[in-house]
Structures are given as structure tokens and as C-alpha cells.
A and B are shown apart, each in its own frame.
Chain A
Amino acid sequence: MNIHEKLPTDLKAIPALIRDVAAKLRELPIDKGQLHDVRLCLEEALVNAIKHGNKFNPNLFVEVDIESDGNSLSISVADQGEGFDFQGIPDPRNPDNLHKLSGRGILLIRSHMDSVDFFDSGRTIKMTKLFKGRGK
């Protein structure tokens, strides 16, 4: 399975992409729980790219690549923003940060995926989910 999409910087573009991806994922050996996890992580990455990466600039785009070899699923989400210090993200689980309204997306992604890496100064996130019995 191979999906490549170029999305406008618009949160309203997310549901249609999620629906298309979910329909294709159902053809893979992936259970309901894993489908939930993939959806959550893809959505969190897209929201981050639109809000924090492209900062809602309508002249910029978000590129999404999804690949599967039947054993795992790889998702790459790239924005065109200024990048960010992905190693310096405050821990939202810290009691001082529990009341904060943002900063949980990356934690959720790391918790639901088997590997997460950043490239291009944080503009691109690549995450991998191993299929049932092989990973989280």
C-alpha cells in the first residue's frame, strides 16, 4: 500500500484524508485497536504540521506519505515551517504542565507507535507501527 497526499494548511482537510486512509488500512492485517492508534497518530501529526509547523499559513502545504509492506506501516508527515527543537519538548506529564492546553500530541504519538523519528530540523516526522503481534 502506498499513499501520497499533498494537503493544504487547513484543519478541515484532515477528516477526508483520515477517512481515505482508514478505508485503505482496513485492507491490511490491522485490528481495530491498531487502526485507532494509527488514526490518532496521523491526526496528531497533521494538526501539529498545520498549527505549529505551517502556523496556518495558507500558502504552505503538508505532505503525507504512507507505506506498508504487509508487516508494518510507515507514516511520514512533512510541513514547510521553520522546524522545531524536537529534543526540547516539555514533558506534558510533569505536574507543572498537566493544566496546559497543548503539548500532548508528540507524547501520544510516541506512546502508540513502535518508532518515531524527526528529520529536516523537525519539519518531518516519520513513525512506524508494526502489525498485530509484532509491536505495541
Chain B
Amino acid sequence: MKIAEVKSGDVLICALEGEVDINTSPVLRKSFEEIIKKNEKKVLVEFSQVSYIDSSGLATLIEMFQRLKKIGGVMRFSGMNQKIKNTFEITKLHKLFEIFETKETALKGY
């Protein structure tokens, strides 16, 4: 899995590429820890190049969402394909997270 970070105003866009699963989740966690250390408060996790997520990937996102929230930050999500969106809906995590269709809509009013 690749992670590319780009700043858009005060929002850090964290674009993921590949699969977010039991084997790649530690890489994602490490990257998020660096983001928290840098005191980034607005993070947009971009999924348009993500093909697969499992429950370990979901757990990593929940963990980082909570850690960011504790320091007064916000995490949004965008660009999920239908299968990934289904996974969030089945688990009801779409009620916990702010999920947007596109990066552009997620950035509006952030």
C-alpha cells in the first residue's frame, strides 16, 4: 500500500493506494502516527485508489479517528468504491465517520 500526503489549505489529504488489510494496516498506523505528531488537525483520507479493506483496516481507521479526535482533530473520508462503501455500511461505520463521494466535496467547508 502506498500513502501520499498533500496539503490543501489547512487540510492534509492522505491518499491511500492499494489494499488496506491485516498486512498493510501497520504501515497505515505508522503513517497516521506521524500525522498526529505533526499536529495536523484536519485530515482527509482519500480512497479512490483503494481496492480492498478488511476489518483490520477498519480498526486502524477507527483507532486513528479516535486519536485525532482526542487532540481536537477531524478526519474525513472520500472516494470509496462501492465494495468499500458497502463494508462501511454493513458495519455501520458510515454513522461514525464523515464520508463524502469525492475529495472536492469533502474539502468544501472543512
Contacts and interface: CB of A to CB of B under 8 A. Distances in A.
Contact of A104 (B58, B63, B66, B96): B58
Contacts of A108: 54-55, 87, 90-91
B47 to A, nearest CB: 15
A28 interface: no
A12 B23 CA distance: 7
A105 B90 CA distance: 11
Interface in B21-59: 21-23, 52, 54-56, 58-59
Interface string B53-79: 011101100110010000000000000
Interface residues of B, number: 20
A99 B66 contact: yes
A89 to B, nearest CB: 13
Interface SS of A by simple majority: helix
Contacts of A12: 23
Contacts of B87: 40, 108
A11 B23 contact: yes
User: In this complex, which of B62, B92, B93 has the most chain A Cβ atoms within 10 angstroms of its Cβ?
Assistant: B92
Contact of A99 (B23, B56, B62, B90): B62
